[in-house]
Amino acid sequence: MHKWITTALAVGIAIFLYAVPSMAQNLDSLQGRSFCGTDRNGDGDYDGEGEIASCDNGVCPLTAAECVTNRVHQVCDPDRQETSCAPDETVEECEPNIVTRQCDPDTTRQVCDPDTTARECDPDIEEQVCEADTTRRICDPDTTRRECDPDTTREECDPDTTQRVCDPSTTRRVCDPSTTRRVCDPSTTRRVCDPSTTRRVCDPSTTRRVCDPATTRRVCDPATTRRVCEADTVRRVCTTLPRSQCDAPGRACVSCTNVIEKGLCRNVTVAGACRNVTTPGQCRNVTTPGACRNVTTAGACRNVTTPGACRNVTTPGACRNVTAPGACRNVTTPGQCRAVNVPGECRDITVAGPCGDETVPGECQTVIRPGECRDVIVSGACRNETVPGECRDVTVPGVCTTRTIPGECVQITVPGECRNEPLPDSCPLEGVDECFIGSDGKSRCSDTQCINTSNVPVEELQRERAAFVNDGQMDANGQCLNDVQVFTGRGMDCQRPGLLTLFKNCCKNRGEILRDGTGGIAAVAGVSTVAAVFTGAQAAIGALAAGATAASAASAGTAAIAAAGGPVAAVGAGVYLLFTELLGFGCDQQDLETGLLDGSGMCTYVGSYCVAKIPFIGCIQKARSFCCFNSKLGRIIHEQGRVQLKAFDGFGEPKTPECRGFTPAEFQALNFSELDLSEYYDELQARSESQLQETFQQGLEAYINVGREP
C-alpha cells in the first residue's frame, strides 16, 4: 500500500478554473431599483419568496395598506368688523352786526419750502409656481409558466443473461496452515460542539415624514406681468438592438433614451387681487431607530474518533472440502422486456406583465416677485408770517359759523367666507403619515422602509470559484518540484431559492447519476470525472447562450459528457433530466456541475453563506457550499481521514472551504484500517477480495506515476 513513499509524487487531478456565468437575474439588473423586505420566517435573511419585493413608488407591497382618500375639511376666513355711519349734517349760525373801530386783522400767509420726491416700493411677494404633471408608462414584470409535452412510452429490454451449467463435481478434504492476523477494536466516535456565540442584531431604522400645520394670510397683489413657461415634457424613445448586442440570449433587446421637449413660454398679465394664501408647514424626516435584540448562534459540532486497541490473533487453518468441478457449458436466457415511460419535454413560456399609466407631479419652486415701486411727492415744510391789518370804523356784521353735526355710527360684524379644502390621504397604519399613488392609480402606504439601490448598491459577496490546478514544475526525470497533493478537491457551490434565482432551487439533484467502476483512481491518467462534468456543463450553457431551448442545451451537455469518456459511466437520461430542469430554472454552469457531483456522492457539504445582500435590508440570496472530489472514494477518504490529522479542522468555512488534498506525509500518516470503505465497495462491480485489492493498488500507483517519463 505504501510503495509510493520512496517514489517522487506527481498527482494530476484535472480541475479547471473558469469565469462565473450570469445568474437567473444579473446583479446589474437590480441596481437603480427600490426594494423592501420582511423576515417572515425569522431566520434573519430576506431570501425567501414573499420576503423581498420591488417597491411601487415608495410603497412596500409586502405590508401595503390602502389609504383613506377624498377627504375634505371646511376652512373659513376670519370675521371682520366694519363701521357704518349716517351722513353728516351741516348748520350755519350768525351773531348780530356791531359798529366798532376795527382794524383789519393781521394777515397770515404761509410760506412753504419746495416739495421733494422720494422713491417708495411695496414689499417683495413670495409665490409658489409648479410645473405641469407628466404621465409615464409603467409595466409589471413578465411572468413565466411551465408547459410540458405529454409523456411517451417506449419498450426497454434487459440484456440476455448467460449462465454457466456444470456437471456434478467431486469433493476432497483440504486444510490450510494456521494464520496470524492483526485485530483492532472498532474506533469510538463522540460529538464535540463549540460553545454558542451571541451577537447583537438591530432592526433597520424607520423614517417618517412630519410636517408643521399650514398658515393662512391675506395678500393683495398689484397687477403684474410675468413670463410663464409650460413644463418640459419627457418622452421615451426606444430602438431594437441587434442580437449581437443583447445581454439576455433568446429575448428581444431594446435601447431606450429619454428625450426632453422644451415647454412654450408666454407673457401673462395677472390683475392685482386679494386672496388668502396658505403657506404649507415645513416638513422634515424623523428617524426612529430599529429595535435591537441578542441572537444566539449555536457552536459548530464535529465527530472526534478514538482508534480502538489492536492485537495479534492466530487463526488455525481452515479445512474445507475441495470440489473438482465437472464439465461446464454456457446457457443463454433472453432478457425481460418492459414499457418505460419517457417524460415529455418542458419549456418556459413568458407572459407579459400588465402596463399602466402613472402621473408624476410637476416640480414646484418658490418665486420671489419684487413689489411695485412709485415716486411719492413729499411737501416742503411751511410756516406762517403775520402782516398787520389797516384800521377804520366799520360796521361789522355778526360772525357766521358753519357747524357740522356728524352722523351716528354703528359697528357691523361681517362673517368670513367659508369653503371646502381637500385633505391629504390618510394612512391606517400607526406612525405612518404619508401616502403614495401606485402604478395602478391607488393611494397606499407602508410601514416598511424602501431602499433605493441607486444610493446603496446591491453588494455581491460570492467567493471566487477556484481550485488547485496541475500546473507545477517537473525535473528532467518527471518528478514534481512543487507542492504535491493527493485526492485534491474543489470548492463549489449552488444557489438556494432567492431573489437572483427568482426563488428557484438551483441546488436540486436527482440522486446518484455518475458512477465509475474503480472510484476514479485507476483512470486518473485519462479524463477525470470533474473534467468530464465541467465539459458537459460548459457545452450546455454555451448551447443555451446560442439560443437553444433548455431541452436542446441539456442534450448537448449530455452528449459532451459521453464524448469526454474517462472514468465516468453516466446514466444519460439522468444527466439530461437534471440539466433540462436546472437550465429551465435559469441556473448557471456551476449549479449544473454541483448538482451532478453532489447527487452522485462525490461532495461534502460545508454550509451555506450569503452571496448577495441589499444594505439596510439584509441577505437576498444564499448558496450551499461544498468540497467536491473526483470520485466517491476521494470524498470518503477525506471525510474519515481528516479527523486523524491535526493539520485539518474539518472543511473550513462555507465562504472559504478548505478543499486541498493530502500532502505525501499526511497521506502516509493515514491509518487505513480505521477507514470504513463499505460505501466505496458497494459502487464496485462484484469481484473477489483479491481483485478489489489489486484494483486499489493499481489506482494508487496511477496517482504516483502521473507525469513521469515513460
The predicted pLDDT at position 494 comes to 92
State the Cα–Cα distance between residues 331 and 162, nearest whole angstrom.
5
pLDDT, tens digit, 9 for 90 and up, residues 458-478:
777 766 655 455 556 677 776
Map grid coordinates 461544498 to a residue.
Answer: 626
Per-residue pLDDT for 694 more than 70?
A: no
Asked if residue 218 lies in contact with residue 338, where contact means CB atoms within 8 angstroms, the answer is no
Asked if residue 490 lies in contact with residue 652, where contact means CB atoms within 8 angstroms, the answer is no
Q: Mean pLDDT check: name the lowest of 131-140, 297-306, 532-541, 560-569.
A: 560-569
pLDDT, tens digit, 9 for 90 and up, residues 214-224:
888 887 878 77
| pLDDT band with cut points at 50, 70 and 90 for residue 697 | low
Q: Where are the alpha helices (DSSP H) in 148-199?
A: none
Read off the DSSP letter of residue 336.
P
The predicted pLDDT at position 351 comes to 77
C-alpha cell at 188: 469510538
Assess if residue 550 is contained within a domain.
yes
Contacts of 683 (CB under 8 A, 6+ apart): 515, 516, 517, 519, 632
- Count up the domains in the chain and report the number: 1
Asked if residue 555 lies in contact with residue 668, where contact means CB atoms within 8 angstroms, the answer is no
Question: Between 572-585 and 589-599, two packed helices, what is the crossing angle to 10 degrees?
Answer: 140
Per-residue pLDDT for 10 more than 60?
A: no
According to DSSP, the residues that pair with 404 across neighbouring strands are 90
Assess if residue 154 is contained within a domain.
no
At 694, phi and psi to the nearest 5? -65, -45
Instruction: Give the chain's mean pLDDT.
Output: 78
Per-residue pLDDT for 519 more than 50?
A: no
Assess if residue 681 is contained within a domain.
yes
State the Cα–Cα distance between residues 253 and 242, nearest whole angstrom.
8
Map grid coordinates 357747524 to a residue.
Answer: 403
The predicted pLDDT at position 657 comes to 92
State the Cα–Cα distance between residues 488 and 220, nearest whole angstrom.
88
3-state SS class at 437: strand
Per-residue pLDDT for 685 more than 70?
A: no
Assess if residue 589 is contained within a domain.
yes
Q: Mean pLDDT check: name the lowest of 153-162, 414-423, 444-453, 560-569.
A: 560-569
State the Cα–Cα distance between residues 125 and 224, nearest whole angstrom.
11
State the Cα–Cα distance between residues 215 and 693, nearest whole angstrom.
95
Q: Indicate the pTM of the whole model.
A: 0.45
According to DSSP, the residues that pair with 655 across neighbouring strands are none
Assess if residue 654 is contained within a domain.
yes
The string of DSSP codes covering 251-309 is S--EEEEEEEEPPPEEEEEE---EEEEEEPPPEEEEEEPPPEEEEEEPPPEEEEEEPPP
State the Cα–Cα distance between residues 103 and 253, nearest whole angstrom.
113
Alpha-carbon dihedral 564, 565, 567, 570, rounded to 10 degrees: 90
Assess if residue 660 is contained within a domain.
yes
How confident is the model over 81-85, as a mean pLDDT? 84
The predicted pLDDT at position 565 comes to 64
| pLDDT band with cut points at 50, 70 and 90 for residue 35 | confident
Q: Report which secondary-structure segment, H or E, holds 394.
A: strand 391-396
C-alpha cell at 459: 453588494
Category of 698 on φ-ψ map: left (φ > 0), alpha (ψ -120 to 50) or beta: alpha
Assess if residue 563 is contained within a domain.
yes
Per-residue pLDDT for 393 more than 60?
A: yes
Assess if residue 641 is contained within a domain.
yes
Map grid coordinates 418542458 to a residue.
Answer: 346
Per-residue pLDDT for 267 more than 80?
A: yes
Asked if residue 318 lies in contact with residue 132, where contact means CB atoms within 8 angstroms, the answer is no
Asked if residue 497 lies in contact with residue 48, where contact means CB atoms within 8 angstroms, the answer is yes
Per-residue pLDDT for 347 more than 90?
A: no
Q: Mean pLDDT check: name the lowest of 91-100, 504-513, 564-573.
A: 564-573
Per-residue pLDDT for 511 more than 70?
A: yes
Q: Which domain holds residue 588?
A: 1-27+466-608+627-705
User: Between residues 521 and 515, which one has the greater pLDDT?
Assistant: 515
| pLDDT band with cut points at 50, 70 and 90 for residue 252 | low
Count of CA atoms in the C-beta half-sphere (13 A) of 13: 25
| pLDDT band with cut points at 50, 70 and 90 for residue 604 | very high
pLDDT, tens digit, 9 for 90 and up, residues 89-116:
888 888 888 877 778 888 888 878 888 8
State the Cα–Cα distance between residues 676 and 692, nearest whole angstrom.
15
The predicted pLDDT at position 354 comes to 82
pLDDT, tens digit, 9 for 90 and up, residues 625-670:
999 998 888 999 999 999 999 889 899 999 889 999 999 999 999 9
The predicted pLDDT at position 17 comes to 26
User: Between residues 169 and 625, which one has the greater pLDDT?
Assistant: 625
User: Between residues 73 and 569, which one has the greater pLDDT?
Assistant: 73
| pLDDT band with cut points at 50, 70 and 90 for residue 568 | very low
Amino acid at residue number 702:
A
∠ CA 526-529-534, rounded to 5°: 110
| pLDDT band with cut points at 50, 70 and 90 for residue 282 | confident
| pLDDT band with cut points at 50, 70 and 90 for residue 385 | confident
